[in-house]
Amino acid sequence: MPRYFEAAHRYKTTLAASTSKHDVNFANRLGDSRRLDRARRAVKRTGLRLRIHKAAQSGVRGYSIQPLPGRLSAKNVSLKQLIGAAYHVYDYQVSGGPKWIDTDRFDVEAKAPDSAAPPPEKELMAMLQKLLEQRFSLTIRRETKDQPVYLLQPGKSGPKVQPTKDTSVPVMFRLFQRHQITAQNAPLEHLTEALSWILGRPVIDQTGLPGTFDYKLEWAPDDLQLRSGEAPVQTEGSLPSLGSALQEALGLRLVSQKGPVEMIGIERAEKPAEN
């Protein structure tokens, strides 16, 4: 998945799909011709139909972004988080824009036409980019900067992570409260994506380990981790740090250095019409 680990925090919500007619009618009732044009252009250009309204549960920290067959459902999500999903980047790679892109929360449903075959996830996200441009008047710039990154490498004694014995079992990767990971038949890509989100900088796989793996990782959050608005995690005092847990349980280590990182700069964004 492209990374949606935050999605497991609190919600698993499916919202009712809308139609392009709903988009157009709502904007028309507002008497806002500019937003009306936005809704019409978005449907025409992307083929997706979008429903947006203010999040019903204000003050709740958790959110979800779920790519599903033929649609994307998001609850209690900020524009910044939607941009991260659409462009396959993390929050820390998105900068600029008005303050409300972080604070205002939306419930969103984007749905492909019923008559069309469900688009693959990559194509769905490309469509979401176009919708964000239309409905939020979003203008961005892409650039690459040298930023701190982590390299995930084998430890001094070599890898300890165990390959999956039965690859017929479903892929499962669970991140719990930023201090526990359970993986079954999962590629290391899932681990690097989770670590990137936890640490607030890209984690690049240099282990050279192909295939899928089973493992459990548990640690006590420390200063390496990106600060979160979530409630403080309660852990046992005997748990190791994240770096020590990676070394002890998986035989892997994190090496800090600088490397090229894609950045998204927001040049323009406007609040959308609700529907």
Query: What does the alpha-carbon distance between residue 240 and residue 232 come to, in Å, rounded to a whole number?
Result: 17
Can you tell me the mean pLDDT for 55-72?
Answer: 73
| Of 100 and 66, the one with more pLDDT | 100
pLDDT at 72: 82
pLDDT at 273: 78
Can you tell me the mean pLDDT for 122-127?
Answer: 84
Token reading at 56: 């019903």
Instruction: Examine the pLDDT at 3 and tell me if it is beyond 80.
Output: no
| Of 141 and 234, the one with more pLDDT | 141
Beta bridge partners of 65: 74
pLDDT at 56: 63
pLDDT at 217: 94
pLDDT at 26: 33
Confidence band, pLDDT 50/70/90 cuts, at residue 176: confident
Q: Report the share of the chain in percent with pLDDT over 70.
A: 74
> For 223, how many CA atoms within 13 A lie in the half-sphere containing its CB?
0
Q: Residue 127, Cβ neighbours under 10 Å: how many?
A: 21
Query: What does the alpha-carbon distance between residue 253 and residue 247 come to, in Å, rounded to a whole number?
Result: 6
Instruction: Examine the pLDDT at 141 and tell me if it is beyond 50.
Output: yes
pLDDT at 235: 54
pLDDT at 151: 97
Query: What does the alpha-carbon distance between residue 25 and residue 238 come to, in Å, rounded to a whole number?
Result: 59
Can you tell me the mean pLDDT for 116-139?
Answer: 85
Secondary structure element (H or E) that encloses residue 52, with its range: strand 49-54
Can you tell me the mean pLDDT for 66-94?
Answer: 88
pLDDT at 29: 37
DSSP state for residue 7 in the 8-state scheme: G
Backbone angles phi, psi at 74, to 5 degrees: -135, 140
> What are the strands, taking DSSP E only, across 97-246?
106-111, 139-154, 162-163, 172-176, 180-186, 203-205, 213-218
pLDDT at 227: 53
Secondary structure element (H or E) that encloses residue 131, with its range: helix 121-135
Token reading at 5: 């680990």
Confidence band, pLDDT 50/70/90 cuts, at residue 23: very low
pLDDT at 237: 63
26-to-38, 44, 51, 124 alpha-carbon distances in Å: 12, 17, 10, 24
Instruction: Examine the pLDDT at 182 and tell me if it is beyond 90.
Output: yes
pLDDT at 154: 97
Instruction: Examine the pLDDT at 256 and tell me if it is beyond 90.
Output: yes
Please name the amino acid found at residue 18. Answer: S
pLDDT at 126: 87
Can you tell me the mean pLDDT for 229-240?
Answer: 61
pLDDT at 233: 52
- Cβ atoms of 221 and 195 within 8 Å: the answer is no
Token reading at 70: 């033929």
Residue of 85, 88, 83 whose CA lies nearest to 102: 83
